[in-house]
A = this chain, B = another copy of it.
Amino acid sequence: MSTEPVWPGELFADLDRSGPIPLYFQISSRLERAIRDGIIPAGARLENEIAIGQHLGLSRPTVRRAIQELVDKGLLVRRRGIGTQVVQARVSRPVELTSLQEDLTRAGHHPSTRVLSLDRIPADEEAAQRLRVAAGTEITRIRRLRSADGTPMAILENLLPPEYADITRDDLETHGLYEMLRARGISIKIANQTIGARRTHSDEHELLDLAKGSPVLTMDRVAFDQGGSVIEAGHHCYRPDLYSFETTLVSR
């Protein structure tokens, strides 16, 4: 099929060998862009790892690690004895640890948020269990309506443990919840998500501009920091005609 291996060496002319950005990351990110932009076409075979290393003045492990990053993302496929190829399949962006706000902005839409409610309430049994606090603890409950270009897309309900009691409506309307947490130095390491479906409840159909009892796509998430403390527990519901979750799975 393919004969000549390719290597667009000119893309890697300006590697920063002294800066703080790891070399393997500089390579993998440049390579990813080249593949996504079609500069390296689907199905093309890359040069072998040692030759790439010689072009760039790098060792094989470093090159190998850069390639591994893209294999994990599903952009490249390696086969022993054969080489490394760009996958033919169009890969979609995986479900990542980003917020809906950021997803939409990146897609070129104009997201807006209306804070429906923001209260401090004692945790009931279920909320206490999800946030890993004692029942009755004062927690913060947020309910927001997220729209894109004026069309309502999702209702976001989030529960926060007591230590984030001082957030304001303004923060939420302008910056998004995750962005705000990051600004406080809180970084999310792990999140467990469950995706499902159900009918609309109570006032949800009005907010989302749907018929009463129509289906919504739901996502429940509990997010943890590196120490294992719960940062946030959310229950979101999305208009299924406007939103879906995409994943790319790679076997190993």
Which residues of A does B touch, CB under 8 Å? 42-43, 74, 77, 79, 85, 87-92, 95-97, 187-199, 214-217, 222, 224, 226-229, 240, 243-251
Residue contact A95 to B249, C-beta cutoff 8 Å:
yes
Residue contact A228 to B191, C-beta cutoff 8 Å:
no
Which B residues touch A222, using CB under 8 A? 89
Provide the bound-state CA to CA distance between A39 and B188, in Å: 26
How many protomers of this protein does the assembly include?
Answer: 2
The closest CB in chain B to the CB of A43 belongs to: B228
Provide the bound-state CA to CA distance between A243 and B85, in Å: 36
Residue contact B245 to A190, C-beta cutoff 8 Å:
no
Which B residues touch A91, using CB under 8 A? 190, 192
Given that A43-B228, A222-B89 are known contacts, is A196 also in contact with B244, CB under 8 Å in the complex? yes
The closest CB in chain B to the CB of A91 belongs to: B192
Residue contact B43 to A195, C-beta cutoff 8 Å:
no
Given that A97-B249, A226-B77 are known contacts, is A89 also in contact with B190, CB under 8 Å in the complex? yes
26 A-B pairs within 8 Å (CB atoms) are namely A77-B189, A77-B228, A85-B228, A87-B224, A88-B224, A88-B227, A88-B228, A89-B190, A92-B192, A97-B250, A187-B251, A188-B251, A189-B251, A190-B249, A190-B250, A192-B247, A192-B249, A193-B246, A194-B244, A195-B244, A196-B243, A197-B215, A197-B240, A198-B215, A199-B215, A245-B245
Residue contact A96 to B197, C-beta cutoff 8 Å:
no
Given contacts A88-B224, A92-B194, A95-B249, 11 further A-B contacts (CB under 8 A): A77-B226, A77-B228, A85-B228, A89-B228, A96-B249, A187-B251, A192-B249, A195-B244, A195-B246, A197-B215, A197-B217
